[in-house]
Structure 1
């Protein structure tokens, strides 16, 4: 697909709008109850949109690297667009990290404070099925 300078900006603006939508969804996600299927669906939707945003940014980057052969825009404008893409990519990475951090908080709340997988495993050594179920209930009760 041949991109003009205007169509590149249109695609960029759509990607920026998607990034804003994702930011709003992450804010909503932080307000939801930390467990349950609705929260999982919401997180999955956010991850999907972050992936779509990453794909769009890769496409815009690819088009931008091919534009100089046509020379439709100045070098100053080319640098501005590279900076815009870089900033949006950084924002996407920060949102992905924020989502992963909220998911790890949920995991921590299930395992208990500062519980490490190795610690949890060592607590189950020597337990039969009944003992493991009892330990699970104890952890869940808090």
Structure 2
């Protein structure tokens, strides 16, 4: 088992931690994320997802994606059943930037991971990296669902 040190965790989620100094929701999400593991109960996980949804990070599509990327990938490593609730944070901003094919979306997310890890080796947890490389490619149907939702919202 790979134990992440508190300082590594704090570095990976530094944007969320800094935001938590100003916004209680972000602070709550950070504290719950810190406790997340395979044994985290569904009610505890539900609260974490709810807090992530309440953050309402405001920025351009790239900053939005890069803010949520470490959070979403870390959560989905431990709790893959929540993909329907939070995968949108990765798909939506990339769709807005013109990525609308599933394989292109997966490649884009992997490329973003490699790019950010070159800048900062602690940008993603080991768990997040594992999820991107091993689990994300299995979610083609789910990614297509999110892309379809984006198209539908665009048409409305």
**TM-score normalised to the size of structure 1?**
0.31
Higher relative contact order (CA 8 A, sep 6+): 1
Between Structure 1 and Structure 2, the one with more helix by share is: 1
Query: TM-score with structure 2 length normalisation?
Result: 0.29
Select the structure of larger CA radius of gyration: 1
